[in-house]
Amino acid sequence: MNLHLTRIFFHVAQQRSFSRGAESLSISQSAASKGVRELEQQLNVPLIERGVGQGGRRSRGLQLTEGGQALFEHARGIFALERAAADDLRARAELRRGELTLGASTTVAAYWLPFYLARYARDYPAIQLHVAVGNTHFIAQGLADCRMDLALVEGSVDDPGITSRYWRDEALVVICPGHYPLATRSPLTPDMLGDETWLIREPGSGTREVTQQLLKKSGLEPIHQTEMGSNEGIARAVAGGLGVAMLPWVAVQDLVALGKVQTLELAGAATLRRPLFRLNRTGRPLSPAAHAFSALLDEIREAPLIP
Give the tens place of pLDDT for each residue, 73-86. Answer: 999 999 989 888 88
Predicted confidence (pLDDT) per residue in 120-166, tens digit? 999 999 999 999 999 888 999 999 888 999 999 987 788 888 999 99
Confidence (pLDDT) at 26: 94
CATH placement of domain 3-50+59-93: 1.10.10.10
Strand ranges for the chain from DSSP E: 48-49, 63-64, 99-105, 128-134, 150-153, 162-177, 197-201, 224-228, 245-248, 261-264, 273-281
CATH superfamily membership of 170-273:
Periplasmic binding protein-like II (3.40.190.10)
Instruction: Measure CA 190 to chain center.
Output: 42
Fold of 99-166+275-299: D-Maltodextrin-Binding Protein; domain 2 (3.40.190)
> What residues have CB less than 8 Å from 84, skipping those under 6 apart?
none
- C-beta separation of 170 from 154 below 8 A: yes
Is 262 in contact with 244 (CB distance < 8 Å)?
Answer: no
In the chain, DSSP finds a helix count (H) and a strand count (E) of 12, 11
Intrachain domains 3-50+59-93 and 99-166+275-299 with the same fold: no
Per-position DSSP letters for 94-128, written without gaps between them: TTSS-EEEEEEEHHIIIIIHHHHHHHHHHH-TTSE
**How much of the chain, in percent, has pLDDT values that exceed 70?**
93
Directed axis angle between helix 18-25 and helix 29-43, to 10°?
100
Name the residue ranges covered by the structural domains of the chain: 3-50+59-93, 99-166+275-299, 170-273
8 A C-beta contact, residue 237 and residue 228: yes
Question: How far is C-alpha 110 from the chain's CA centre?
Answer: 17
Per the CB < 8 A criterion, the answer to whether 158 and 222 are in contact is no
Burial class (CB in 10 A: 0-12, 13-18, 19+), 92: middle
Task: Tell me if the pTM is above 0.75.
Answer: no
